[in-house]
Chains A and B, each alone.
Chain A
């Protein structure tokens, strides 16, 4: 992974025609401006993750899966602990993309 340091107002190029500018840095949040051709898709990482997860969930939501899920569900009666925060997401939650 290429890592570079940029200040507010500075920018960098990806390829010939994609420019990403750091507009503002406030605490843990960074505001970015992206100039790219209309044909380039730009999506927040967590949205893409949710798109993929929704598609997998829809594909696997079959009548047969209901039985096996119901079989697994009684274990929910006494959940052990609250889920620990997922560390994978720290990287982009800290970016504070908005």
Chain B
């Protein structure tokens, strides 16, 4: 079984089914074309998206429905083509694709946020991923992870 040096867990073995190609990288990380998705029982439901190129690069993810059960994902034809999915229908989250949001832990006692504007979407069958910017959705890039009544939804 292949193994990888990680930012948070030192050396970790992984199954091939956890390795995903990102042909375009991610915005701000265009050179990062391959990530291993790690899911550890003691950290559920957090997932870890570890770069295979850069051991110091890891993103924390949460399944979008854990954060926003009513979340609506709308993939345009370009996104569907990038994911090598049929252009004629929207894929089912949890069956055809995984849809997860990047968690931003922040510092200085600021509460953690998630980026609902730009979820990470991966084709589970072909193991291809992209970060999709949902321009028309109205979702925030800094949605509070924990509901905060006193906080505005956008900052």
Does the CB pair A69–B103 fall under 8 Å?
yes
Does the CB pair B104–A53 fall under 8 Å?
yes
**Interface size bucket, B side?**
35 or more
Does the CB pair A57–B60 fall under 8 Å?
yes
Does the CB pair A86–B153 fall under 8 Å?
yes
Decide if the interface of chain B is mainly helix, strand, loop or mixed.
loop
B57 → chain A closest CB, angstroms: 6
Residue-wise, chain B 125-149 has the 8 Å CB interface mask toward A (1 for contact) of 0000001010111111111011100
Which of A55, A56, A89 contacts B117, CB < 8 Å? A89
Q: Cβ of B121 < 8 Å from any Cβ of A? A: no
Q: A50-B141, A76-B67 are in contact. Are A66 and B8 (CB under 8 A)?
A: yes
Which of B28, B45, B60, B141 contacts A66, CB < 8 Å? B60
Does the CB pair B102–A57 fall under 8 Å?
yes
Q: A57-B102, A57-B104 are in contact. Are A49 and B117 (CB under 8 A)?
A: yes
Does the CB pair B27–A51 fall under 8 Å?
yes
A:63-88 near B, CB below 8 Å: 63, 65-66, 68-70, 72-73, 75-76, 79-88
Binding site for B on A (CB under 8 A): 44, 46-47, 49-58, 60-63, 65-66, 68-70, 72-73, 75-76, 79-90, 92-93, 97
A-B contact pairs, 8 of them (CB 8 A): A50-B131, A51-B27, A54-B131, A60-B107, A66-B43, A69-B145, A89-B140, A92-B135
Known: A54-B27, A83-B143. 10 other contacts (CB 8 A): A47-B133, A60-B105, A66-B60, A69-B46, A69-B112, A73-B46, A76-B146, A79-B67, A85-B138, A93-B138
